[in-house]
Amino acid sequence: MEVGFLGLGIMGKAMSINLLRHGFKVTVWNRTLSKCDELVEHGASIGETPAAVVKKCKYTIAMLSDPSAAQSVVFDKDGVLEQISSGKGYIDMSTVDAETASKISEAIKAKGGDFLEAPVSGSKKPAEDGQLVILAAGDKALYDEILPAFDVLGKKSFYLGEVGNGAKMKLVVNMIMGSMMNAFSEGLTLAERSGLNPGTLLDVLDLGAISNGMFKLKGPTMLKNSYSPAFPLKHQQKDMRLALALGDENAVSMPVAAAANEAFKKARSLGLGDLDFSAVHETLKALDHST
């Protein structure tokens, strides 16, 4: 199967290498074109523009940073819309809001193309290992056609119905994750400041009812103040912001998520946006000079 791939950041690079490893023919494009070179070493071809990739490929996948990037790649000059047409499918796996997904969907469909949103749960390592959870919605026929690629990229794919449901599901999941990360950071700091060994706290947590993969993975690196980015903090804050907007629309009061968003904003203001989202831990240190 031949696919195009737009966006070679942390996730897009891992996902497209994974597709190449499994025998897919992949044509890649990235805004910073030099990032394509490494993919060529893995067997990819390069498309000079998003339009060139769509022209060449029946299916094109995108993995871009945010709503503005997702729209720019579709609507701007040399963008996806210039070449999408009947018989071609566009699959946007970026985390965006439902409104952005719908806007892109309508534009693709107006040109005769098919559209699927398919944001993912799971970070750099699951992307490398083909263990993502795929939250797809939109054109069901396109979903069925692209399943061989989803089967390589993920451990499970959900088809959630109409466009927007994928974005909403992803935002709910990441809102919970961002709130949990803040509670976890506070717990690690409280353990340390009150004279406990935070490493022992990790062991205790891991044996109880709130044991989870995120605490297990991030706890040891957070205790070493090590925040090499798997999921950049600026993207987690974007997801909190979009989830809070979804809460506004639906009159859902979310004080915990709102507080977590403030902590991520604080972290961004401290220049931590490009570090892993677990670097929100540093905001507690920055705030705590009172004693």
Residue 65 binding target from ligand NDP, ligand LL5AMS7Z, none, CB below 5 to 8 Å by type: ligand NDP
Look at residues 93, 5, 90 and name the one whose alpha carbon lies nearest to residue 47.
5
Rounded distance between C-alpha atoms, residue 136 and residue 139, angstroms = 9
Q: How far is CA 197 from the centre of its chain?
A: 33
Report the residue from 107, 231, 261, 280 that binds ligand NDP according to the rule CB under 6 A: 231
Q: Answer yes or no whether residue 278 interacts with ligand NDP by CB under 6 A.
A: no
Indicate if the alpha-carbon torsion angle 211, 215, 217, 222 is positive or negative.
Answer: negative
3-state secondary structure of 158: strand
Q: How far is the CB of 187 from ligand NDP (least distance, A)?
A: 22
For 257, the 3-state DSSP assignment is helix
* 121 forms part of the interface with ligand LL5AMS7Z (CB under 6 A): yes
Give how far Cα 203 sits from Cα of 47, 183, 206, 217, 219, Å.
Answer: 48, 17, 5, 12, 10
Tokens matching residue 72: 């720019």
Q: Closer CB to ligand LL5AMS7Z, residue 27 or residue 174? A: 174
The first and second tokens of residue 109, run together, are 């469909």
DSSP class of 59 = E
Q: Contact between 283 and ligand LL5AMS7Z (CB under 6 A)?
A: no
Segment contacting ligand LL5AMS7Z by CB under 6 A, of 41-49, 66-74, 121-129, 247-255: 121-129
Give the residue closest to ligand LL5AMS7Z by C-beta: 123
Residue 291 lies near ligand NDP (rule: CB under 6 A):
no
How many residues bind ligand NDP (CB under 6 A)? The answer is 27
> Which one of 58-66, 119-127, 154-162, 203-211 is the stretch in contact with ligand LL5AMS7Z (CB under 6 A)?
119-127
Pick 24 or 231: Cβ nearer ligand LL5AMS7Z:
231
The beta strands (E) that lie in 59-214 are given as: 59-62, 89-92, 114-117, 120-121, 132-138, 154-159
Q: Which residue has the tokens 């570090």?
A: 275
> Is 241 a binder of ligand NDP (CB under 6 A)?
no
Q: Scanning residues 44 to 73, which ones bind ligand NDP (CB under 6 A)? A: 63-66, 68-69, 72-73
Of 171 and 284, nearer to ligand LL5AMS7Z (C-beta) is 171
CA–CA separation, 78 and 270 (whole Å): 36
Per-residue x/- marks for ligand LL5AMS7Z, 223-262, CB under 6 A?
--------x-------------------------------
170 is catalytic: yes
Question: Residue 289: how many CB atoms within 10 A of its CB?
Answer: 6
**Active site residue ranges:** 170
